[in-house]
Structure 1
Amino acid sequence: MTTDTGAAVGAQPEGPRPNRPGTTVAGPRGVPVLGNLPQFGKDPLAFFERLRARGDMVRWRFGPKPSLFLADPEHIGELMTETERTFDQPALGIAFRTVMGNGVVVARGPDWRRKRSLVQPSVRPKQVRSYAATMAGCAVELADRWSDGERIDIKREMAALTQRIAVRTIFGADTDADAQAIGRAMDVAQREIGAEFSGIGALLPDWVPTPGRARIKRAAEVIDAEVARVVARHRRGDEERPDLLSRLLAARDETGERLSDEEIRDETVTLYIGGHETTSSTLVWAWYLLARNPRVREALAGELDRVLGDREPGFDDYARLTYAQAVVKETLRLYPTIWLLTGVAREGARIGGLPLVTGTRVWSSQWATHRDPRWFPQPDEFRPERWDPDGGDEIPEYAWFPFGGGPRACLGARFAMVEAVLVLAVVARRFDLDVDPGEIRPVPALTLQPDREVLATVRAR
Structure 2
Amino acid sequence: MVSGSSATDGTGQGIDAGEGNESDRPIEEYPPAPGPAGYPIVGNAFQVVNDPFGFYDVVSAHGDVVRYSIVRNTFTALLHPDHVERVLVSEHERFERYLFADLGLDIGAEGLVMSDGEQWRRQRGVMQPVFTTDRVQSYAETMATYADRAANRWDDGKVIAANREFSRLTLRILAEALFDLEVDPTSDDEAVVRAARAINDRADARRLSTFLPEWVPSLADRRFERTMDEYRRRVDELIGQRRATGSDGDDLLSVLVRAGGSEGCALSEAEIRDNLVTFLFAGHETSSVALTYTFLLLAQHDDVVDELRAELESVVGDDRPSAEHVRDLEYIDAVITEAMRRYPPVYMLFRRALEDVVIAGYRIPEGTILTLPQFRIHRDERFYDAPEEFRPERWTDGSEDDRPEYAYFPFGGGPRHCIGMRFATLEMTLIVATLLRRFDLELLSDPDPKISPTTTFGPAEDVRIRLHRR
Q: Normalising by structure 1, what TM-score?
A: 0.90
- Give the letter aligned to residue 314 of structure 2: R
Against the structure 1 CA distance between its residues 298 and 172, is the aligned structure 2 distance closer, same or farther, given a 3 Å change threshold?
same
After TM superposition, list the pairs within 5 Å mapping 1:6-85 onto structure 2: 17=8, 19-21=14-16, 22=20, 26-81=34-89, 85=93
Q: Displacement of 1:198 after TM fit?
A: 5.0
Residue 313 (structure 1) aligns with: 321
Residue 199 (structure 2) aligns with: 190
Q: Secondary structure at the match of 1:54?
A: coil
Q: Is 1:231 aligned with 2:239?
A: yes
Q: Displacement of 1:177 after TM fit?
A: 6.6
Q: Secondary structure at the match of 2:406?
A: coil
Residue 453 (structure 1) aligns with: 462
Q: Is 1:161 aligned with 2:169?
A: yes
After TM superposition, list the pairs within 5 Å mapping 1:27-426 onto structure 2: 27-81=35-89, 85-90=93-98, 92-93=100-101, 97-176=105-184, 181-195=190-204, 197=205, 199-238=207-246, 240-251=248-259, 257-352=265-360, 354-388=362-396, 390=398, 394-426=402-434
Structure 1 residues 178-207: Cα deviation after superposition (integer angstroms, max 9, x where no partner): 986134223322322322x55333443323
Structure 2, unmatched stretches of 5+, are: 1-5, 21-30
In 1, Cα distance between equivalents of 2:90 and 2:281: 25
Task: Compare 436-445 and 399-408 and name the one that shifted more.
Answer: 436-445
**Are the aligned partners of 1:41 and 1:199 in contact in 2 as well (CA < 8 Å)?**
yes
**Are the aligned partners of 1:71 and 1:368 in contact in 2 as well (CA < 8 Å)?**
yes
Against the structure 1 CA distance between its residues 262 and 174, is the aligned structure 2 distance closer, same or farther, given a 3 Å change threshold?
same
Q: Displacement of 1:100 after TM fit?
A: 2.2
Residue 23 (structure 2) aligns with: none
In 2, Cα distance between equivalents of 1:334 and 1:283: 12
- Aligned Cα RMSD in Å? 2.4
- Give the letter aligned to residue 427 of structure 1: L
In 2, Cα distance between equivalents of 1:300 and 1:49: 35
Q: Normalising by structure 2, what TM-score?
A: 0.88
Aligned length: 445
- Give the letter aligned to residue 230 of structure 1: L
In 1, Cα distance between equivalents of 2:336 and 2:195: 24
In 2, Cα distance between equivalents of 1:140 and 1:27: 51
In 2, Cα distance between equivalents of 1:165 and 1:251: 24
Structure 1, unmatched stretches of 5+, are: 1-14
**Are the aligned partners of 2:260 and 2:269 in contact in 1 as well (CA < 8 Å)?**
no
Q: Displacement of 1:409 after TM fit?
A: 1.2
In 2, Cα distance between equivalents of 1:91 and 1:291: 34
Q: Secondary structure at the match of 2:365?
A: coil
Identical columns (%)? 34
Against the structure 1 CA distance between its residues 327 and 268, is the aligned structure 2 distance closer, same or farther, given a 3 Å change threshold?
same
Q: Is 1:444 aligned with 2:453?
A: yes
Structure 1 residues 129-160: Cα deviation after superposition (integer angstroms, max 9, x where no partner): 12111111100110111222222221221111
Q: Secondary structure at the match of 2:37?
A: coil
